[in-house]
Amino acid sequence: MQKIVPHLWFDTQAVEAANWYVSIFAHSEITHISQLHDTPSGDVDTVEFTLDGVDFSAISAGPYFTLNSAISLMVTCRSAEEVDALYAHLGKDATILMPLGAYPFSKRYVWLQDRFGLSWQLCYFETDEISQKIRPVLLFSDAVCGKAEEALTFYASIFPGAISGYVNHYLPGEAKDARAKTNYAELTLLEHQFVAMDHGVGGDETFNEAFSFMVLCEDQAEIDYYWEKLSFVPEAEQCGWLKDKFGLSWQIVPKNMGELLSSAAPEEAARITQTFLQMKKLDIRALEQARNG
């Protein structure tokens, strides 16, 4: 089971977006669709899906948060032609952040924000090693510009078995913002690969709840551990959500949360939903008691 799952927040389009992404990528499928009733956003759709072997989750919960380029998805392609094929789909009605072409770091590359607002970096590197085709990229901008490597060190100290990968720094004078130090760094947390970089010109788009990361926990002790280590913004603590000191949003949830809701009768699911809506850090025992009435 993938223990860290990227989570996307949409206004109303979660299911539509997930179906579109699944139609584009190979080895992809919708794995579950459900609805939560009587939330602060009304009745909301949730969808779980897999893109080329990587699990994702999404929710339609209102226009409160907007996806931006602070977190993107990097797709490592096996050929320039694969980049072009993905671009033909994802590029429809997209905003182009870096145009399709050859760059010093990639023979074929494009950075775009698709019609649903999700940011993608499509790239071709001459390598046979692609262990995770789609990787989240954290772009440290604005107030946290220059803190990419510090953040990766922080996360590596929290997640057991973290593996630090390749790191490359800006050359003197290469970045227009003097705070920017790291132009590419890799980190694996709980077998899920991340990329991080400092924004070379500083940037003004910041992390927000539209793109968060779910940590699927084995038990209450694990929930307590990650909550204590990661939570930094008390007012952001709600329904298992938290923000860390770099502004990144996490959801610390029991690994069977989806099953707990999907296998429940309607009245049981309603009790579970109303119980976790009142929580900050999730309490597994209280959720199970809510199901049992």
pLDDT tens-digit series, residues 180-209 = 999 999 999 999 999 999 999 999 999 999
Q: Provide CB contacts within 8 A for 71, sequence distance 6+.
A: 119, 136, 137, 138, 139, 207, 211
Relative to beta strand 29-39, strand 42-51 is antiparallel
Assess whether pLDDT exceeds 70 at residue 93.
yes
Please write the tens of the pLDDT for every residue from 49-84.
Answer: 999 999 999 999 999 999 999 999 999 999 999 999
What Rg value do the Cα atoms of the chain yield, rounded?
19
Is residue 90 situated within a structural domain? Answer: no
The confidence score (pLDDT) of residue 128 equals 64
CB 200 within 8 A of CB 174: yes
Which SS3 state, helix, strand or coil, does residue 286 take? helix
Q: Does residue 80 sit within a domain?
A: no
Across 194-198, 246-250, 264-268, least confident range: 264-268
- Residue count of the chain, please give it: 293
* Res. 265: pLDDT tops 90: no
In a domain, 127, yes or no: no
Q: How confident is the model at residue 262 (pLDDT cuts 50, 70, 90)?
A: confident
β-bridge mates for residue 205, sequence order: none
Per-residue confidence at 251, pLDDT binned at 50, 70, 90?
A: very high
Of 6, 145, 134, nearest in space to 67 by CA = 6
Instruction: Please check the confidence at residue 258 and state whether its pLDDT lies above 90.
Output: no
- pLDDT tens track for 212-223: 999 999 999 999
Helix, coil or strand: residue 183: strand
Spatial contact of 198 and 169, defined as CB atoms under 8 Å apart:
no
Q: Is residue 247 part of a domain?
A: yes
In a domain, 37, yes or no: yes
pTM: 0.96
CATH number at residue 220: 3.10.180.10
Q: Which helix (H) or strand (E) holds 15?
A: helix 14-24
> Where in the sequence is the domain holding 48, given as residue range(s)?
4-66+208-292
Per-residue pLDDT for 263 more than 90? no
Of 200, 204, 138, the closest CA to residue 170 belongs to: 200
CA separation for the pair 175, 103 (Å, rounded): 16
Banded pLDDT at 130 (limits 50, 70, 90)? confident
Query: Who contacts 173 (Cβ-Cβ below 8 Å, separation ≥6)?
Result: none
> Is 57 or 127 the better-scoring residue by pLDDT?
57
**Percentage, residues of the chain above pLDDT 70:** 100
Asked if the model's pLDDT at residue 126 lies above 90, the reply is no
- Tell me if residue 67 falls in helix, strand or coil: coil
- Can you tell me the distance from the alpha carbon of 233 to that of 61, in angstroms, rounded to the nearest whole number? 22
What's the rounded mean pLDDT across residues 157-164? 98
What backbone torsions phi and psi does residue 132 show, to the nearest 5 degrees? -140, 110
For the stretch 274-293, what's the b/e string if a residue is b when 16 or more beta carbons lie within 10 angstroms of its beta carbon?
ebbeeeebbbbeebeebbee
Average pLDDT, the chain: 96
Q: Is residue 169 domain-resident?
A: no
* Calpha distance 23→27 (Å, rounded): 10
**Residue 171 domain-assigned?**
no
> 162 pLDDT band (50/70/90 cuts)?
very high
- Is residue 127 scored above 80 in pLDDT? no
In this prediction, residue 266 carries a pLDDT of 87
Q: What percent of the chain has pLDDT over 90?
A: 89
Q: How many domains does the chain divide into?
A: 1
pLDDT score of 58: 99
Split at pLDDT 50, 70, 90, the class of 174 is: very high
pLDDT at 151: 98
Domain assignment present for 35: yes
